[in-house]
A and B are shown apart, each in its own frame.
Chain A
Amino acid sequence: MRLRLRHVAGLAALAVGLAACTGSSGSSGSSSASGSGSSGGTFTAINEFGTIHPGAPKNPFNSSGNYYPSYDEMQLCWLAYSASNPNACFPGLAKSWTSSDGGRVLTVHLQPGAKWSDGAPVTANDVKVSLAIAFTQGTAQPANLGSVKVVNSSTVQLIQSPGANDNTFASDVLQLPVVPAKVYGHLLPADIWSLIATSQYGGSSKAKTAAAKKASGTLVALGKKIAAYAPSQDLSAGPYVLSSLNPGEAVLTKNKYFYAASRVHPSQVVLRAYSGNSQIWNYLISGQLDAAPYTAMPTNILHKVLSVKGNKELVSRTFVAASLGFNEHDYPYNLRSVRQALAYLINRQAVQKVAEPVSGSPSKYTTGMIDSVVHDYLSSGQMSKLNTYSYSPSKATHLLEGAGFKKVNGQWMLPNGKPWTITVQTVNGFSDWIEASKVISSELTTFGIPTTAKISPDYASYLTELANGKYAVGFWLDALGPNLYTTYQRLYGTNDGYVVQGGKLTHQGPNAPAAAEQGNWEDTPTTYQVPGVGAVNPGELTFKLSQVPVAQQRAIVAKLAQATDYELPVIQLWNYLNVQFVNTSRWTDFPSGNEGLLNNQPGLWISMGYVHKR
């Protein structure tokens, strides 16, 4: 139920740093219908964070803070969510950017008219302070940011950390939030940048390593202080500024100092809070929402929502798939033929129809990527080699019998003669997983493998027990993207024993002491022998995806897809669809068909000139 939404919906907008966006294609979507139509009126949408807590600080570094990305919180650019062209990006406070020194230096030119809601201009120093704060929050380090240089008041240079060679550097840093220096600057010590430099030491000097550790600790402590800091008022460089809020809704009014204020039509935005999907259903059915984000719902609710005057559905893809994962440390799931047989036995159409009827589509392939990305990256010849594991009990029987399994009195026996039963583990509150597990249990039981669904009380204990190897078969989200390294890391990453330490890949078996947070619960072989492809080392290939230039990723992805499809470390069940709703009776001109924009919040649509009064 409620967790599910939180779970997947966020990818529409929350993303802080995925994929690359180099300057060239930066100004793509801003051409939409210029300033016609009158302004004014209220635009009602959903606060994608869910709940609103009036007591929380108006601070983007607080995870429950009262700030609303794309409305009153701005970043330098907004990711366009393109799998085939990870360079696509919508400009935010940065009008344009160029990279030099092999992508190691990024020169950013701010929007000439960018101003805070008190009329003061947004300066390069604001960016520098914001990025310094990002170090205290631990968000700048993974982006491989090294230092920041103010060129002039509207130009700033971002430099990668020494030794790093990150192909997604630009997108990662450009998506960090930009806050006013005059509000947050006083929270930072004067020597913040030398502290940051000290903390980044990666050499072998013991003294310097100790100093780096100490500096990191200081940064984290600063981060806590900054996260809890409550500015007295909202100072926004975005199209709107927060005017009032209560636990049910936040009211934002137009920021007349916004650099593209002339393109912004609604004079007020109301963001409704929600605590469960059914609340969004109710809002939609009562026709109150002008835009609603991804919301899981059953078919009957969909029909009812669409029957309301003006309500329209906007569907785009998400980069998330739900899968059934195996712990290959557990017999008989270490047998490829068993995993393949199970893939033949699970009718993915039926599972999706029950579990995620509206915002899902059954997965055709199990490649570790969502199906549409498979189309982007694999040639039709390569795709034809993929096994789709269409529902086929006879193929399953064949595979099982080949592996020494026997069916006795309607029940399948392991080769050792013991009866084979399966427990599928899911999580309390994740109703799509639970429903899917029931369908799967029913299908497998009918086939002669008594299967029961077991539910963990909460996600935290599910993940802990999963990492500790307590479950043989359980649910898993994979194909997270569009960054392909992230995508394959879900299969051949920490949960498969692959850990990157000091820029080097290491592998740990399931019995090794678990990595800091995740154990190796997949336990796939380190080398696959894939027919037609040959030996594949999935962990190494995955790591390579983060290192090689984007152009070279294609070949690696093809290998990984083939290997995954053949070996089935998981069985991909369905891809989530980003089903959004808009109401066209008050506002028109929504960015339908623009996948990049649909994956961003309506605040960006509005500031890019979409959304006109009817």
Chain B
Amino acid sequence: MATAETGVQAASPGTGEAAVRVRDLTVVYATARGELPAVAHVDLDLPAGQITGIVGESGSGKSTLALALLNAVQRPGRILSGSVQVAGVGDVVTLGRRALRQARGGKIGYVFQASQSSLNPLKTVGKQLLDLGRSHDVADLRQLIREAKGLAEEMGLDPVRALGSYQHQLSGGMRQRVGIIFALVLNAHVLVLDEPTTALDMLSQALVLGIVRRVHRERGLTTVIITHDIGVVAELADRLAVMYAGRIVEEGRTEEVLASPLHPYTAGLIAAIPRIVGDPNRSRPLSGRPPDLTTVPPRGCPFRERCPVAMDVCEVEDPALVEVPGGRRVACHARGRGVAVR
């Protein structure tokens, strides 16, 4: 990794208290071949005050999982089973419509990826903030605007200009910061960032990640970053969960997972990262393509086709996510047999 110093995790090492507790979550999408799972039996704890990174290729179900945290899976998908307990909110899966809406934005902030336009193009940022305030029954809208301006200033934006602008007048980096204002202005304590830096130029990426790190620390947030970019996770996250075909295949403290991946997929991802120092030819892309909903094998380990250490049992049995010593979890029949990927 280019930046090895990840001092963040020192802030709250090994906290037992989880702000979000996902249990046996299954999300299915209706297709021509019936309902197929995009997220299958996921168990995941997001420790309070920590940054958790969820990494995976497109189609791995990570974005679906992120939406499921807000019970916002879009049709034709739906949450089939499981629960998502959010501290101070309850199980969002069973929450009533109104309470759910209050939780979204109010308790859980969500930041879209920068390439997406998360703002109504026809309204200024300020007016949309007022809409947000009204939707959440904020009594003092002026105070809300003041807070938003404060946040803007904190993130290096000209507050008056930012709030008076339309989306098309904002650059990608500015949009992302405005997105964070929306997520935090109501004092949400859980922050979900979906690909927060994709499509940003390098400077903006660094800026946005810096801001995320700062607000996280200052506001004592519980943060989830969904990304396909291991570099982002390495720089920011305390914990790391790797997703493949709707399953969490490995989870643990970031530096531990990166240093010694237990799942061959994790190892493959890491090996695929080109290094700045050293021979670029040493980076080995993963062979094969990730499965989508319809190509996930119904039986056995979904990774076996691309797995360098696949065994016979992988053909028939989907490995469960089991805890291994050191507070890590992995779902692989070959665990402990030394994944010689490096």
Chain A directly contacts chain B within the complex, with at least one CB pair under 8 Å = no
B contacts, CB < 8 Å to A: none
